A = this chain, B = another copy of it.
Amino acid sequence: MASDQNEVSKGLEWRIKVADGSSEILVPEAKSAATRVLLCLKAFIVGLASKVWKFLLKAWDVGVDDPRKVIHCLKVGMALTVVSLFYYMRPLYDGVGGTAMWAIMTVVVVFENTVGATICKSLNRMSGTFLAGFLAVGVQWIASQSGNRFEPIIIGASVFLLASAATFSRFIPSVKARFDYGAMIFILTFSLVSISGYRVDEVFNLAHRRLSTIIIGTTLCIIVSMLVCPIWAGQELFTLIFRNMDKLADSLEGCVGEYFKDGDDIDDSDKECHKKLQGYKCVLSSKAAEDSMANFARWEPAHGGFNFRHPWKQYIKIGASMRSCAYCIEALNSCINSENQANEYIKKHISNNCLKVSSNSSGVIRELALTIKTMKKSSNIHFLVGDMNNAVQELQPEAAETPENKTTEQQPASKTVVTIMPIVDIIPLVTLTSLLIEIVSRINGIVDAVEELADLAEFKPASNDKCGKDDDQLNNNFLPDQQKDKDTMKKVFPRV
């Protein structure tokens, strides 16, 4: 005790001495160092807290955007809790024993967001396990017949060969698209069963229990995913396609409309409008989503208006034709935003015609979206397509009149003069026109793809009431303009 006190007082004395000797030099520095550390710590904690807060806000947004994601999470939790009953209940536990953990693992790994993905993974897991277990038991039997010395060699060689072959098969596109997970499970089960067999001595039992627990897990997953608020990959694909069509129509119409509208009337809805214009970008970037959903959709049983053999592949074709249209809208968008300003005089005069083409073609796209949405053949799509093609014909007024224009080569002086202007003034307008023409021809591609879908999926014709009304309305909208445009075009573009 005494020596302890002595040491403490020494320490105190020493500390005080040091403090005395250099109080004016060191103490402020030490203080500032301490405060600096504190400040750093505070900044770190504040930074961390704000990061966590931002992350939580983002997570909240994800949940609000699509509440079904939250439901999916609850479904996973539910399935896991149900499967863990196998552990808690004695009779069930005695049935499958310690391998109940395979069932838990299966639920975690196999449960996906959509029914199709869950079924696809479940079937892959079951067939991969079955095939591998079967082969592993066979290999194990052969190995056990060949004596203690060769047993590990035979097993090792078979694992090496089959694992390599199955891994390689995962690189082949057709296998990768459908059986990627199955091939992995094949390697896993084969290695596990055949290697464990070397020690466990009851390889058949192991294979059997693994298979039965996996069947329990996958069945549970499929049942929960199909019965509790199911999310069907097919339905998702279907919705994605017709929503993207609407977006495409909005951006096409908005893009051309924005270009031709007077500069004065910029209003509050500018941001909303800008968002609409960018809709085509969703189409550009949705290829991966379409492919994977079409791939999962074909595993799904009949649901909603879709039967089991619904032509899901056709939606990929429709998506591709929409994307090719979106490429052109992208070019159109940049041509509209380019620095070259068009001559206001011509711009005003072809504006009606361009607006008509854009509104007619977005009308066609919207009608196609409606066809898909209602799953009914539209009766007036042909009128709309006709209107659109007529409007395009009016955009290129000379094409029909001088089909032999190739023969006029090198005789340009023989034409009559009407209006003269620098070519730079018309470059943006001619480009716009030409891109609009190209867009219309690509829209015809979408029309063909949707009609093919309607045939393949046997869409019924729509009732006539609504369509007739639509038709009238469209005619009312466009006919006066059409007449006006024809006159204008004759004035402006007879010969340039």
Contact = CB atoms under 8 A, between A and B. Distances in A.
Contacts of A433: 427
Contact of A191 (B88, B104, B199): B104
Interface stretch (A67-75, A271-279, A462-470): A67-75
Give the dominant DSSP class at A's interface.
helix
A484 to B, nearest CB: 19
A147 interface: no
Contacts of A81: 156, 159-160
A185 to B, nearest CB: 9
A150 interface: no
Contact of A422 (B70, B160, B398, B419): B398
Given A327-B327, A396-B340, A101 B167 contact: no
A232 B422 CA distance: 55
A78 B340 contact: no
A413 B420 contact: yes
Contacts of A328: 330-331, 334
Contacts of A105: 188, 192
Contact of A108 (B187, B198, B324): B187
B188 A73 contact: no
Contacts of A156: 81, 84, 88
Contacts of A161: 77
Q: A74, A80, A406, A419 — which one has the most chain B CB atoms within 10 A of its CB?
A: A80
A476 interface: no
Q: Which 6 A/B pairs are nearest by Cβ-Cβ distance?
A: A431-B434, A77-B164, A331-B331, A398-B424, A77-B160, A430-B430
14 contacts: A55-B172, A58-B172, A62-B168, A63-B168, A101-B196, A288-B288, A327-B330, A338-B434, A340-B396, A345-B410, A345-B412, A405-B425, A412-B421, A427-B433
